[in-house]
Amino acid sequence: MELLEKVALGDKTLKNRIVMAPMTRSRANNEGVVGDLTTLYYSQRANAGLIITEGINISEQAIGSPLTPGIYTREQIEAWKEVTQSVHDRGGLIYAQLWHTGRVGHSVGRNGMLPVAPSPIAIKGQQHFTLQGMKDFETPHELTVDEISQIVRDYGQAARNAMEAGFDGVELHAAFGYLPNQFLAESANIRTDAYGGSIENRNRFVLEVMHELVDAVGNDKAGIRLSPTNAYNNIENSDPVAQFVPLIEALNEMPLAYIHLMNAMYPLDKYPHYPKNVMETFGSISRHPVIANGGYDRETGKAELEKGIAEMISYGALYLANPDLPRRFELNSELNVPDRATMFAGGERGYIDYPFLQD
């Protein structure tokens, strides 16, 4: 398989196997509404086989970081229609990544409301960015069963809103320490009810949400992002293989579009029991198309495809800095270097001003 080959995804055909990975950019306004810059940002990158948006908050409760977009108000939905139409006009496909941050937030950015989580366990050893500066994480509110059920419904409504806004599908962000990942992790979930304790119970929330998403958007239009060896945001499991293999096997029984697997993004020296190769360990058991993510360039992406497990490769920072990434890969040309200082800034710089190759 080659990066620039076409590939089927559900009832669509992607023009290449290069996926734009979801990346938080913090360019929405205070009401979570995206604007013209966001429309241009995504339309510039409609050359991807598939765009997966930055995380989009499914509800007001879901908000963790400032200036991140939502899809739960009429104004937010209408604004996303401009984005999806612009991408489609340029021959692109775009999925909405649905986001609930759980305990990865702070009350100063949530109108004084504490973040929520499976269990009242605060993140230690990190701080959270707020509009009042960096803050220590707070002990989150422990969700009741009724509140969990409401969040599942919120995901379903957000998915319906996304389809109304013109998205081609949705992705559940169940990775990198956000709410679904918190339910999966022994370090964040010490519940003793149906959502905690056993591996089956810790997987329950994610599976309920995925059933809700499929019901909302239909077959082959919902994907999921997982990070089985992620340790960021205090996410730990005594046995990731025992946790995630049954989860992926259960996902195999659903009519999903894909599974999006993240490699470890940080050293795992403290976790010698974690599997070293995410794609071989977890991707190999998926009956759905696998998108591989995390640290790939042109050559390593091509090499990953040649192994025959992943069918697509997603690129984050490289796509941020190179809006014409497929063309640059085709020509094996020099790449723009991402400016990390402007990744989460609020204006044009580092957002829509990265140069294209000259014809």
The pLDDT, as a whole number, for residue 268 is 86
The C-alpha angle with vertex 312 and arms to 311 and 318, in degrees rounded to 5, equals 160
The pLDDT, as a whole number, for residue 345 is 75
Per CATH, the number for 7-342 is 3.20.20.70
Q: State the number of CA atoms in the 13 A half-sphere of 185 facing the CB.
A: 29
The length of the chain, given as a count of residues: 359
On whether the pTM is more than 0.95, the answer is yes
Q: Is 178 a catalytic residue?
A: yes
Are the CB atoms for 25 and 37 separated by under 8 Å? no
The pLDDT, as a whole number, for residue 265 is 85
pLDDT tens across 116-169, in order?
A: 999 999 999 999 999 999 999 999 999 999 999 999 999 999 999 999 999 999
What is the distance between the alpha carbons of residues 252 and 150, in angstroms, rounded to a whole number? 25
Active-site position among 178, 195, 258, 319: 178
- Residues of the chain scoring pLDDT < 50: none
Q: In this structure, which long-range contacts are made by residues 266-274, counting pairs with CB atoms below 8 Å and at least 24 apart in sequence?
A: 266/230, 266/231, 266/232, 268/229, 268/231, 270/231, 271/229, 271/231, 271/236, 273/238, 273/239, 274/229, 274/240
Tokens 């998915």, residue? 159
Are the CB atoms for 45 and 323 separated by under 8 Å? yes
How many helices (DSSP H) and strands (DSSP E) are in the chain? 10, 14
Are the CB atoms for 327 and 357 separated by under 8 Å? yes
The pLDDT, as a whole number, for residue 359 is 61
Residue ranges per domain, the chain?
A: 7-342
